[in-house]
Amino acid sequence: MIDKKAIEEHIRGILIALGDDPDREGLAETPERVARMYEEVFEGMNYSNHEIAEMFSKTFESSDDSSAVVVRDIEIFSYCEHHLALMYDVKVNVAYIPKGRVIGLSKIARICDMAAKRLQLQERLGSDIADIIAEATGSDDVGVVISGTHSCMTARGIKNTSAQTITHTMRGKFRTDYSLQNLISR
Q: What is the pTM of this model?
A: 0.95
Beta strands 101-103 and 119-120 are unpaired
One pLDDT digit (tens) per residue for the chain, 186 residues: 899 999 999 999 999 999 999 999 999 999 999 999 999 999 999 999 999 999 999 999 987 777 899 999 999 999 999 999 999 999 999 999 999 999 999 999 999 999 999 999 999 999 999 999 999 999 999 999 999 999 999 999 999 999 999 999 999 999 999 999 999 986
Q: What does each C-alpha distance from 34 to 21, 67, 162 come to in angstroms?
A: 16, 45, 28
pLDDT at 145: 98
pLDDT tens digit string along 99-118?
Answer: 999 999 999 999 999 999 99
Q: Which residues participate in catalysis according to the annotation?
A: 80-83, 122, 150, 152
Query: By the 8 A CB rule, do 146 and 126 touch?
Result: yes
- Count each helix (H run) and each strand (E run) in the chain, helices first: 7, 7
pLDDT tens digit string along 20-38?
Answer: 999 999 999 999 999 999 9
